[in-house]
Amino acid sequence: MNTVLTHTTVLLNEAVAALLGEQDAVPAKPPDAARIFVDATFGRGGHTRLILSRLGEQDRLITFDKDPQAVAAASAISDPRFSIRHQGFDQLALLPPKTVAGILLDLGVSSPQIDDPARGFSFRFDGPLDMRMDSSRGQSVAQWLEGAPVGQIAEVIRDYGEERFAGAVAKAIVARRQERGPISTTTELAQLVAGAVKTRESGQNPATRTFQAFRIFINAELEALQNALTAAIDVLQPGGLLVVISFHSLEDRIVKQFINSHSRFTYDRRAPFAVPAALRLQALGRSKPGAAEIAANPRARSAVMRVARRTAA
C-alpha cells in the first residue's frame, strides 16, 4: 500500500494576501483589466489553490515547477485560469515584460520531496543519493560525488552548508570512495558525515548542513534565485508585488540584499553629479510564522517572508 505524502503550506494566508495586495493600507480599486499572477513554485499547490479562490473570472495564474511529480499533481486542477510550466523559476524571464501583477516565490523543499525516500533529500530515510528537484534530467549527488575532487566537495559544503567541518567531511567522502567505491545512498552519506563532524548543534543531526549544501549545489538553487529575482523586476508591471518565502539564511540574505539594492538610490562615484539610478522596488516588510503555525508545523520555524512592490521607474 502506497503512503500518501502530504504538504503543509507555510505562511499560506499571509503570502496570498501579500501577493494580491490585500494587506495594503488603502485597498486597491477593482482592476480594469484581467491580471496575471505567478506562483513560481507550485509544489503541491497550496498557495495556488488559495490564489485561484480569490482571483476574478478574467484573471490568470501561471505556475512553474521543475519537479515532474509536482507537474503531475497540478493536473488535478481543471480551472481554465490556471496553467503550469515544467520549468524552474529562473525561467520567469520568458514572460513578457511588465505584464505580471504579482509573483510568489516559495523557496522551500516540499514535504513530499523530503519524505519520499526515493528522492534522496533526507538523511532520515534510506534511499538513493539523488536530491535533484527535476528527477528527469541532470546529475544526481551520487553521480557528482563519484568524481568530484576533495577541494570542490569541501567548498560546496562550506559555502552552501556553512559547515565548519567541511574539509573533514570532504576528505572522508573521498577516502571512502578510494577504499570501497562511491557513496550511493543517503544512509551511507549520513553515517560518514556523522563520523567527520566532531561537534553539532543541539537537536540537529550532524548531516543536516552537508545534505543542505549538496541539495543547493546539485540544483544550482542560489544561481536560479538570483536569476529569478532579476527577471521579476522586468516582468512585473508598475505596482506589481514580489513575495518571497525563504527557509535558510543563504536564500534570505540574497533576497534581502536584492530588495535593498533596488529600494535605494544608487550613485555612480565616477560621475558624482549625475542623476542617481531610479528606484525599481519599494520594500514593504518582512514577516515570520507565528507561534501557533510553528507549533502545528515545525518545518515553518525557519521561514522568512519578504515583500516588495515594483515602482513605476
Q: Where are the domains positioned within the chain?
A: 12-111+221-310, 135-218
Report the pLDDT value the prediction gives residue 307, as an integer from 0 to 100.
Answer: 97
12-111+221-310 CATH choice from 3.40.50.150, 3.30.2270.10, 3.40.800.10, 3.90.1150.10: 3.40.50.150
Give the residue ranges of the chain where pLDDT is below 50.
Answer: 1-4, 26-27
CATH class of 135-218: mainly alpha
Cell of 229: 529575482
Report the pLDDT value the prediction gives residue 199, as an integer from 0 to 100.
Answer: 81
Exposure on the CB side of residue 1, measured as CA atoms within 13 A: 2
pLDDT digits (tens, 9 = 90+) for 97-128: 999 999 999 998 887 888 899 999 999 999 99
Report the pLDDT value the prediction gives residue 267, as an integer from 0 to 100.
Answer: 55
Q: Quick one: which H or E segment has residue 244?
A: strand 236-246
- Using alpha carbons, select from 222, 228, 240 the residue that is nearest to residue 281: 240
Q: 281 has which bridge partners?
A: 310
Residue type, position 128, single letter: P
**Nearby residues of 126 by Cβ (< 8 Å), 6 or more positions away:** 117, 185, 186, 187
Domains 12-111+221-310 and 135-218 share a fold: no
Report the alpha-carbon distance of residue 244 to residue 28 in Å, rounded: 21
Q: DSSP letter string over 32-62?
A: SS--EEEES--TTSHHHHHHHHHS-TT-EEE
Would you put residue 191 in left (φ > 0), alpha (ψ -120 to 50) or beta?
A: alpha
Report the pLDDT value the prediction gives residue 4, as an integer from 0 to 100.
Answer: 45
